[in-house]
Structure formats: structure tokens, C-alpha cells
């Protein structure tokens, strides 16, 4: 079965640089979520999209932005990177009316800022 695809798997950036993370949800899923997980921490919700419209916002810094495109893939754009942005970034997708299957998470992108 198709899963949530995230790219790249690993990314190394320098401070003050920009990074773009991509997420391809499961086909026909209508909702995408982004999470950030720092070392030793629980995943923290950043932002979500339902049918290509932003639906909820968590603790996402102003330096970060995200969008969902017409083909339902989503991108998380991160500017002016800081050392503290080093983390695992997970994308998840779901189909609201069939939530018995829960969210499906991707394998994540490991961002290292040096």
C-alpha cells in the first residue's frame, strides 16, 4: 500500500540558510499535518491543511511557512535557520471521514543545522 513520502530523508544546512521539506500524502487523503520532533522530545504539531486550505496552526515559528498544492503534496519552507531547528520533521496524512485508520506518518526528514 502507498505510504506518506517525505523528501529529502536527510538535510544539512548552515545557520541563516533556507530549507524546503516536501511531503506526498497517501492518494485521496484530504488532510496533511506537519510535526517537529527535537532530540528526546515528543512530536510537536506545527500546521495542518484540509483540502488545500490551512486548517490549524500550532507552535510554528514565523520563519516557517507551509502550503498544500493542487496535487495535494505539501511543502514546509524554513528560512533563517537556527541551530535549534535541528530536528526530525514528520508529515502525516489522513482522510477525515475514515479516521478509523488514523493518521499515517511518513519516515521523516532529519534536518541538521550547523
Partner 1 sequence: DAKTTQPTSMDCAEGRAANLPCNHSTISGNEYVYWYRQIHSQGPQYIIHGLKNNETNEMASLIITEDRKSSTLILPHATLRDTAVYYCIVRVAYNAGNMLTFGGGTRLMVKP
Residues in contact with partner 1 by CB under 8 A are 4, 30-31, 33, 35, 42-45, 48, 50-51, 55-56, 58, 88, 90, 92, 96-97, 99-108
Nearer to partner 1, 31 or 81 (CB): 31
The nearer residue to partner 1, 64 or 90, going by C-beta atoms, is: 90
User: Which helix (H) or strand (E) segment is 11 a member of?
Assistant: strand 10-13
**49 Cβ contact partners less than 8 Å away, ≥ 6 residues apart:** 31, 32, 55, 66, 67, 68, 74
Cα 4 versus chain centre, distance: 11
For partner 1, which is the closer residue by CB, 7 or 79?
7
* Minimum CB distance to partner 1, residue 22 (Å): 15
CB 114 within 8 A of CB 54: no
Compute CA 7 distance to the chain's CA centroid, rounded to the nearest angstrom. 10
When the beta carbons of 4 and 113 are compared against partner 1, the nearer one is 4
Quote the cell numbers at residue 57: 496552526
Q: How far is the CB of 41 from partner 1 (least distance, A)?
A: 9
CB of 80 to partner 1, least distance (A): 25
Amino acid at each position: 500500500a502507498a505510504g506518506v513520502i517525505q523528501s529529502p530523508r536527510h538535510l544539512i544546512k548552515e545557520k541563516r540558510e533556507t530549507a524546503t521539506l516536501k511531503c506526498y500524502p497517501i492518494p485521496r487523503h484530504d488532510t496533511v499535518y506537519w510535526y517537529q520532533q527535537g532530540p528526546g522530545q515528543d512530536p510537536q504539531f506545527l500546521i495542518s491543511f484540509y483540502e488545500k486550505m490551512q486548517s490549524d496552526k500550532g507552535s510554528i515559528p514565523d520563519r516557517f511557512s507551509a502550503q498544500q498544492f493542487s496535487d495535494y503534496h505539501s511543502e514546509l519552507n524554513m528560512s533563517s535557520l537556527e541551530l535549534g531547528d535541528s530536528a526530525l520533521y514528520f508529515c502525516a496524512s489522513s482522510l477525515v471521514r475514515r479516521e478509523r485508520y488514523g493518521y499515517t506518518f511518513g519516515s521523516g526528514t532529519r534536518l541538521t543545522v550547523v
